[in-house]
Amino acid sequence: MFHPSSVARDNGHSFRQEPKLLAKRPLKWSFTDAAALPTVFATVDEAFRDADLKAGQRVLVHAGAGGVGLTAVQYALQLGALVYATAGRQEKKQHLLQMGVKFVANSRDGKMFEEELCSELANGEKMDVVLNSLSHDNFIGRSLAFLREGGTFVEIGKRGIWTQEQMQQQRPDIVYKVLAMDTICEQEPDRFNSLMVRLVKRMETDWTALHCQVFEGLSQCSEALQVLRKAEKIGKLVISVPPLVHDGTYVLSGGTGALGLFVGRALVEEGAQDLVLISRSGGKELELQRSAAKVQIWQCDLASNEAVDVLKAQLERAHSTQAINGVFHLAGLLQDGMLGRLGRADLEAVFGPKVYGLKVLKHVSP
């Protein structure tokens, strides 16, 4: 969420006001290192400020080798807190210990986590703050056993989390916070902006870049997701996208829909000069067409063989005169329902624009 400039204006028209979800990147930080920080730092800053974490207090950071985890560890250590964490693989545990974490317990087996932490806290010490993202194997309930009376439990997970009522019934003596940074971004952009401002100040002074694994190009997204799924990473995964080529055409199927227009605006803001928006219904004049870019709307139902033949000819002619730099296949049709009531026609309706359309567009992809 860092940007090199503030706002794009073309032909006197501005597509955005000053963005509150962006901040200027400190020049001494690379784009890769800066890209890894905003969401995780904002989450940790908000969590530990709410918990009023102080020097000398104990904090338990679950999934400590992830992006939020490593950020939380660095943040808490800088405050002077005693940091305990969980992790699965041995290399992750070693990485955390080298950072200065006092003890690392198992994050995959709830019973083992409980036994290991009990052994470490043999004198009955308790945590002042728990930062949780684990819900399997009763990690929430097990972690509560290590939280002192009056302590703070901050939940950043999405699945299987406890409600306020559940927590009140189990531990009425603690403070329970559920933190969702995506909701804050959407509903409270000013609040997120203040977190970003604090992050930039830290980056300019005492913050260290997170451990990152970089994947070059959008074609590596699938591989990156596999690494994420297998929980093999330490820190953050970053997809490095090559600079936008300004000359040439960008083709967007479903180009007049909400997602298509969003992507189209982003391309124009990045300097794209020629867009072709493919739409099943065509479309009236768009704000996008009043920009400095050349924006064409081609009507085509990607599920219709006759319409597709015309589209193929149009794309081939366009490709012969100017390079097609990118194709964004955004067309789609929602026709959901109960599985037992779905028939062949329902499947064809959804399959048409998404799957048949892909067969057409892949022939002109760069």
Give, for 339, the enclosing helix (H) or strand (E): none
Q: What would the pLDDT profile of 263-308 be if each residue is shown by its tens digit? A: 999 899 888 999 999 998 876 667 788 888 899 999 888 878 777 7
CATH superfamily of 249-361: NAD(P)-binding Rossmann-like Domain (3.40.50.720)
What confidence category does residue 8 fall into, taking pLDDT thresholds of 50, 70 and 90?
Answer: very low
The topology under which CATH files domain 2-203 is: Rossmann fold (3.40.50)
CB atoms within 10 A of CB 90: 9
Q: What would the pLDDT profile of 214-262 be if each residue is shown by its tens digit? A: 999 878 988 999 998 888 889 999 999 888 888 889 999 999 988 999 9
Q: Is pTM beyond 0.95 here?
A: no
DSSP letter assigned to residue 302: T
Pairing of strands 13-14, 9-10: antiparallel
DSSP 131-182: EE---GGGHHHHHHTTEEEEEEEEE---SSPPPHHHHHHH-TTSEEEE--HH
Note the pLDDT of residue 303: 77
Note the pLDDT of residue 13: 44
Average pLDDT over residues 71-77: 98
Domain positions in the chain are: 2-203, 249-361
Say whether 196 sits in a helix, a strand or coil: helix
- Look at residues 83, 125, 122 and name the one whose alpha carbon lies nearest to residue 104: 83
Q: Does the pLDDT at position 4 exceed 50? A: no
8 Å CB contact between 7 and 16: yes
In angstroms, rounded to a whole number, what is the distance separating the alpha carbons of residues 143 and 329?
45
Please report the beta strands in the chain, taking only residues with DSSP state E, as ranges in sequence order.
2-3, 9-10, 13-14, 23-24, 58-61, 82-87, 103-106, 127-132, 147-155, 175-178, 212-216, 236-240, 249-253, 274-279, 294-299, 324-329
Examine domains 2-203 and 249-361 and report if their fold is the same.
Answer: yes
